Amino acid sequence: MNEYPVLPAQFLETMKQQLGESEWDHFLQALQQPAPVSIRLNPFKGMPAPANGQAIGWSSHAYRLPARPNFTLDPCFHAGAYYVQEASSGFLSHVLNQLALPEAPFALDLCAAPGGKSTLISSFLGDKGLLLANEVIKSRNQVLKENTIKWGLGNTVITQNDPAHFAPLSESFDFVLVDAPCSGEGLFRKDPQSIQEWSPENVHLCQGRQSRILQEAAALPKPGGYLIYSTCTYNPLENEGNVRFLAANFGYKPVEIPIDPAWQISRSECKTEQGVFPVYRFYPHKVPGEGLFMAVLQRPPSEANEKSPKKAKDFRHPHLQRLPGKVRNHPSFPKLDVPEPLSYYQYNNHLFALPSRWVPRFETIAIRLNVQYFGVELGDWVRDTFLPGPAWALSMLPKSSYAREELTREEAIRYLKKEPIALSKADRGWVLVNYKGLGIGWVKNLGNRSNNYYPKEWRIRMD
């Protein structure tokens, strides 16, 4: 039997104070159990709830599984039918359902990679709202992009910026999530490496970094909008310390989130000179998930009328070009029969589609921030020829002008490993390959053989 790693003495001391004698042993015991496994379904891709899953009360479409399946060898996972997310993080779903938000919210996830909470927000916004998901670290931004593309809802813009770069977007968002980098105390069970990285000095370092991020984030919600602050640590310095910082410096108000006592979420009160702020903690001995902290704060409303950006006549950008409406009359331009008008942009040879009503917002973002992805990348548009791309296959946009072929599980896995697959009937040309009705990618049928266009960097590397 593997021995559980020794926990740092100062961590244990603070936790004992936080939990009290009655909970202490339960907490320590829970840390020695295997981490529970949960998934959150993509409500737009229609995968049925797992037969052996146990619904998570505070998270729409989320289920705890009795054991960890091999997700890598499940084509539905690669099709964006679900996201593997530990259950506590799904509390954001319940929180969003409690807020007084407009019909078409504009949201920011400032520390977004790998995209667990961004895909949750994307599902919440559906075809109504727009999400700006930001990740400052380049390699992590790539993972965020992959997960966003697979989720496929087309309502997300991805940027790679430092929080300080967001100043021109102050008072723009209906809600801002800061899921901050932290000392990771809540992940000790799931990721023992975080035990090695923990030290009192690192907690102080994290608290300083969190305050610097929040200093920028605090200006970004609209008056009356929300700031949601979360970490995966229990530490009061990183949690209540920063709630106090927001209350004292930016006039934020507390927001109570009603919770069902059966969920066993721990609500406590953070007392500040500006008022009492309810805060919520998830402990592994009480919930089927890992450690999490969340607090919701509201920016005071203002008397002034809200200003929405207007569509500029010209969109001038060094790399990105908005295509004129007549381009879609070109015989090779992709055919998209959708109820909502789309606008098209080109970045080098890459062709993107975005709902037209988000154009003013998107262009305001694009001229100020370092955009990495947005809407749906349909494919490559090169010298009047169009080549469909993987993001379109995985998106909810229709692809009715293409032949399609349903693959068996074995064929789908071969496809996802980027191995050749034999097509049964389709005509020559581009074929959309599906698994359980969900698009997973493209092959080009050449008659005697076919070419597999699954992206090399996404391929399954497991036997």
User: In the complex, which residues of this chain contact ligand SAM (CB under 6 A)?
Assistant: 89, 111-117, 135-137, 140, 163, 179, 181, 209, 213
Euclidean distance between CA atoms 38 and 231, whole angstroms? 19
The one catalytic residue among 76, 206, 232, 270: 232
| Total Cβ atoms within 10 A of residue 221 | 25
Residue 37 vs 111, nearer CB to ligand SAM? 111
Residue 111 vs 353, nearer CB to ligand SAM? 111
In the numeric block, which tokens belong to residue 141? Answer: 């931004």
Whether the CB-CB separation of 162 and 136 falls below 8 Å is answered with yes
Whether the CB-CB separation of 372 and 383 falls below 8 Å is answered with no
Burial of 130 (0-12, 13-18, 19+ CB in 10 A): buried
**Least Cβ distance, residue 23 to ligand SAM (angstroms):** 25
**Least Cβ distance, residue 235 to ligand SAM (angstroms):** 14
Under 8 Å CB-to-CB from 409, ≥6 apart: which residues? Answer: 75, 435
Residue 109 vs 377, nearer CB to ligand SAM? 109
Whose CA is closest to 44, among 71, 82, 98?
A: 82
Whose CA is closest to 122, among 152, 166, 95, 145?
A: 152
Residue 154 vs 163, nearer CB to ligand SAM? 163
Quick check: is 232 catalytic?
yes
**Least Cβ distance, residue 131 to ligand SAM (angstroms):** 12
Q: What is the DSSP letter of 455?
A: -
**Least Cβ distance, residue 345 to ligand SAM (angstroms):** 26
> DSSP letters along 392-427, please?
HHHSSS--TTSEEEEPPHHHHHHHHTT-----SSPP
- Output phi, psi for 4, to 5 deg: -70, 135
Euclidean distance between CA atoms 432 and 439, whole angstroms? 7
**Least Cβ distance, residue 180 to ligand SAM (angstroms):** 6
**Least Cβ distance, residue 108 to ligand SAM (angstroms):** 12
Residue 209 vs 357, nearer CB to ligand SAM? 209
- 3-state helix vs strand vs coil in the chain, percent to 5: 30, 25, 45
**Least Cβ distance, residue 366 to ligand SAM (angstroms):** 20
Q: Which helix (H) or strand (E) holds 95?
A: helix 91-98
Where residue 196 falls (left for φ over 0; alpha for ψ -120 to 50; beta otherwise) is alpha
Q: Residue type at 175?
A: F
Residue 117 vs 322, nearer CB to ligand SAM? 117
Residue 212 vs 409, nearer CB to ligand SAM? 212
Q: Which helix (H) or strand (E) holds 117?
A: helix 116-125
**Which residues are tagged catalytic?**
232
